[in-house]
Structure 1
């Protein structure tokens, strides 16, 4: 990357207001904390989009966790009892995961606020474990095993949210609302409406049905170049924001101590 210093005279100066027109404030905050506060920040479109994708992944995982736990919580409320998952023990693997995230967070934040490690390693490792646990919940299990998984997910969700809250990455909005905001920003960057994407999804499905796989692949590639990823989930195709592969621009160096306060979420 070209570590060029940001300045108005060079024409590579961006304000927070300008950046947040196309990217969610949480994505900007994540991006800034992905570099140690003592180090200069290399700002580029690809890096802010990587941060945006990371935020989407975080909130999608939390939303998936909520969706998985809701049926059990609702059933317990109808029975007028506490959620049964709370009386079960967490799995040893979940206990280890939570313990590691907690200890890593305390150690790295005490080590001169080492936020890059928290975001890029410790938190990502925990989120991968959560997604793995979500896949297990969907499988048929014995009742006690299922209760243990529910309890594990409940505690994992709580720990992740505590870390995000401390870092200022936990929005006051619901996860679904944040996800929709992130998708709206992606649509704005792509200069598309959601109906346009849905029409292309239908066209791709028809092309694949007619064994015109080259056209189907072309639609997917064209959308990916605009920052829209198509995901085949069972018989359904959904879309989500992604990093635009052809949008790399020269990096500019931002001195953190001169930054304006981040926009609130």
Structure 2
């Protein structure tokens, strides 16, 4: 079955046909690093991480670009409020974002460009738009440069809007605009802004507008035409609409497909700093492992809005622990947790149907139930095949507990490191108990078992030796 995806622009589920055979170019709008990341922020990272994992599983060579906006009005405002340089705030928040992605096993992209590292490319692109008659410097002496939306007849094609039905752009003073809907490509420096937040340009010192940043970075690393452009659904307008217009007006084809992940909401509203309903990643990882939070996000379809609740996260954590318990039991039976398998056909069908992760997760749990039955029946060969399939599915979803990414404290809120330490301690006690039993010192053996049980650990004696689980 061919991989099919919902294209936001055409509003249809379409077969994925790459521009270059065997290769896939993916650009995802990253975050504006103005504040610490919360659950709503990282959903996009997780969803598009699953996409690139699936494309690679299908055999594509993926070039995955995810940018960081490290210069922006909001960054300047927040840094001034906090009394520190804007670049210090952006760098600090970028590091926190990296830690949040690592905690959820979001693989690094092929490259993660910073907006401030690509000012020359942005200036060049703006110059091309002026030459083609699609942009103009403001005549009010501000140093601003605007995109002329009336000059591009296809403006509004992504979101299916007419220019006259759109709200005026709110990214610059309207005095220098020919049309209130024209948007800023370059923003002349204001006296109230730090000198370090501006760069020389043919139109005077200033800084880029938000929209031109992504067009320039996508063009540099993926070319003027590439396969998939992704981001949060809130970016469709005006950000992605403006990206598409300016990129095509400059002569490129830009993205073939547009994919947008839905929000994580609280009380029915988008999770955001402005609404004051955020839940930071470090705070959540004090109560849950990163692998459980990722499972919670992956279990929902990327285009479905998710109403966040700790009750739902609790249920997700319990559901994932069933998978982990199966792998532990399989290890007890097989002496290993075999890998190298292929996902079942039903799983592949679900993933090929616009990344249908809810159906894919259901297939995963069906396989776990089968595996537990094979353990009960002593069907070792079937258990081995099923375990391989389970691990193949988990790998695609970024949820394999054996992935080294989960073996660090940052990758699982410290629980994996703690489990390793506990495992070593319990193993030592079990060796003492085995020695006592061999010496027929039943009282000491029972005392050691009671000591382990008092710590909340249940020991089960099996023909292959004792195993333990947290009670």
Q: Taking structure 1 as the reference length, what is the TM-score of the superposition?
A: 0.50
Q: Deviations over 1:172-204 (max 9, x none)?
A: 2599998x927969xxxxxxxxxxxx88x659x
Answer with 105-114 or 5-14: which moved more.
Answer: 5-14
- In structure 2, what is the Cα distance between the partners aligned to 1:41 and 1:163? 23
> Gaps (5+ residues) in structure 2?
1-265, 420-449, 462-466
Mapped pair 1:153 → 2:383? yes
- In structure 1, what is the Cα distance between the partners aligned to 2:382 and 2:407? 22
Query: Structure 1 residues 5 and 21, CA, compared in 2 at 3 Å: closer, same or farther?
Result: same
Q: Confirm or deny: 8 A CA contact 2:300 2:358 kept in the other structure.
A: yes
- Aligned partner (choices 292, 305, 317) of residue 40 of structure 1: 305
Q: How many residue pairs get matched?
A: 163
Match of 1:162 in 2: 392
Query: Structure 1 residues 112 and 183, CA, compared in 2 at 3 Å: closer, same or farther?
Result: same
Q: Confirm or deny: 8 A CA contact 2:407 2:416 kept in the other structure.
A: no
- Aligned partner (choices 348, 371, 376) of residue 130 of structure 1: 371
After TM superposition, give the deviation of residue 163 of structure 1 in Å. Answer: 0.7
- In structure 1, what is the Cα distance between the partners aligned to 2:345 and 2:383? 19
Higher relative contact order (CA 8 A, sep 6+): 1
RMSD over aligned Cα, in angstroms? 3.9
Mapped pair 1:112 → 2:377? no
- In structure 2, what is the Cα distance between the partners aligned to 1:182 and 1:22? 14
- In structure 1, what is the Cα distance between the partners aligned to 2:269 and 2:459? 40
SS in 1 for 2:349: helix
After TM superposition, give the deviation of residue 44 of structure 1 in Å. Answer: 0.8
Mapped pair 1:66 → 2:307? no
Query: Structure 1 residues 237 and 28, CA, compared in 2 at 3 Å: closer, same or farther?
Result: closer
Mapped pair 1:27 → 2:292? yes
Q: Deviations over 1:85-142 (max 9, x none)?
A: xxxxxxxxxxxxx99x6111111111100001111x21111111111111112xxxxx
Match of 1:56 in 2: 321
Bigger radius of gyration: 2
- In structure 2, what is the Cα distance between the partners aligned to 1:176 and 1:183? 7
- In structure 1, what is the Cα distance between the partners aligned to 2:405 and 2:331? 11
Q: Say which structure is richer in helix.
A: 1
- In the TM superposition, 1:103-252 aligns within 5 A as 103-119=345-361, 121-137=362-378, 149-171=379-401, 172-173=403-404, 181=415, 239-240=470-471
> Gaps (5+ residues) in structure 1?
74-97, 138-148, 186-197, 204-227, 241-265
- In structure 1, what is the Cα distance between the partners aligned to 2:268 and 2:295? 20
After TM superposition, give the deviation of residue 21 of structure 1 in Å. Answer: 2.4
After TM superposition, give the deviation of residue 5 of structure 1 in Å. Answer: 3.4
Q: Confirm or deny: 8 A CA contact 1:24 1:181 kept in the other structure.
A: yes
- In structure 2, what is the Cα distance between the partners aligned to 1:130 and 1:69? 12
- In structure 1, what is the Cα distance between the partners aligned to 2:397 and 2:370? 20
- In the TM superposition, 1:75-86 aligns within 5 A as none
- In structure 1, what is the Cα distance between the partners aligned to 2:375 and 2:407? 18
- In structure 2, what is the Cα distance between the partners aligned to 1:64 and 1:50? 21
Q: Say which structure is richer in strand.
A: 2
SS in 2 for 1:21: coil
Query: Structure 1 residues 152 and 174, CA, compared in 2 at 3 Å: closer, same or farther?
Result: farther
Query: Structure 1 residues 35 and 170, CA, compared in 2 at 3 Å: closer, same or farther?
Result: same
Match of 1:7 in 2: 272
Query: Structure 1 residues 176 and 15, CA, compared in 2 at 3 Å: closer, same or farther?
Result: closer
- In structure 2, what is the Cα distance between the partners aligned to 1:44 and 1:182? 24
After TM superposition, give the deviation of residue 6 of structure 1 in Å. Answer: 2.2
SS in 1 for 2:285: helix
- In structure 2, what is the Cα distance between the partners aligned to 1:67 and 1:27? 23
